[in-house]
Chains A and B, each alone.
Chain A
Amino acid sequence: MTLKSGTDQACAACKYQRRRCTSDCSLAPHFPADQPKMFQNAHKLFGVKNILKLLKQLDPTQRVIAMKSIKYQANMRDRFPVYGCLVEIQQLYCQIQAGEGELQAVLSQLAFYRQNHQHHQETSSTNEPTSQLQLGVAPPENSLSLLHQEIPQSYNAVTALPIAPQPSYSDNANPAYNINILDSKEHNMLNNLWFQQAYCNSNNNNANSMAMQSQFIKSHPLSVQQEMTHDYDEIHPFFDAIDDTQSYIDSKEAYESSSESSMKDMRNSIEQMAANELKSAAAFFSLTSVN
Chain B
Amino acid sequence: MASSSSYSNPPCAACKFLRRKCLPGCIFAPYFPPEEPQKFANVHKIFGASNVSKLLNEILPHQREDAVNSLAYEAEARLKDPVYGCVGAISVLQRQVLHLQKELDATNADLMRYTGSETSYLNQMTAQFGRMGRGGGGASFNPNSGFPDATYSSQWNNDSNSSEHGGNGGM
Contacts and interface: CB of A to CB of B under 8 A. Distances in A.
Contact of B48 (A49, A207, A273): A49
Given A95-B133, A146-B110, A106 B47 contact: no
A230 B72 CA distance: 21
Contact of A269 (B115, B138, B144): B138
Nearest to B100: A99
Contacts, number: 322
B145 interface: yes
B152 to A, nearest CB: 4
A250 B144 contact: yes
Given A95-B97, A230-B81, A280-B126, A82 B59 contact: yes
A250 B132 contact: no
A156 to B, nearest CB: 11
A46 B51 contact: yes
Nearest to B119: A287
Interface residues of B, number: 92
Contact of B66 (A69, A82, A85, A93): A82
Interface in A175-228: 176-177, 181, 207, 210-211, 213-214, 217-218, 221-222, 224-226, 228
B86 A221 contact: no
Contacts of B145: 242-243, 246-247, 250-251
B83 A113 contact: no
A99 B100 CA distance: 7
Contact of B107 (A154, A163, A224): A154
Interface of B: 45-48, 50-51, 54-55, 58-59, 62-63, 65-67, 69-74, 76-78, 80-97, 99-101, 103-104, 106-108, 110-111, 113-119, 121-122, 125-126, 128-130, 132-133, 136-139, 142-154, 156-160, 170-171
Interface of A: 44-47, 49-50, 54, 57-58, 62, 65-66, 68-73, 75-77, 79, 81-89, 91-96, 98-100, 102-103, 105-107, 109-110, 113-114, 117, 135-137, 139, 143, 146-147, 150, 154, 157, 161-164, 166, 173-174, 176-177, 181, 207, 210-211, 213-214, 217-218, 221-222, 224-226, 228-230, 232, 235, 237-244, 246-248, 250-251, 253-254, 257, 262-263, 265-266, 269-270, 272-273, 276-277, 279-280, 283-284, 287
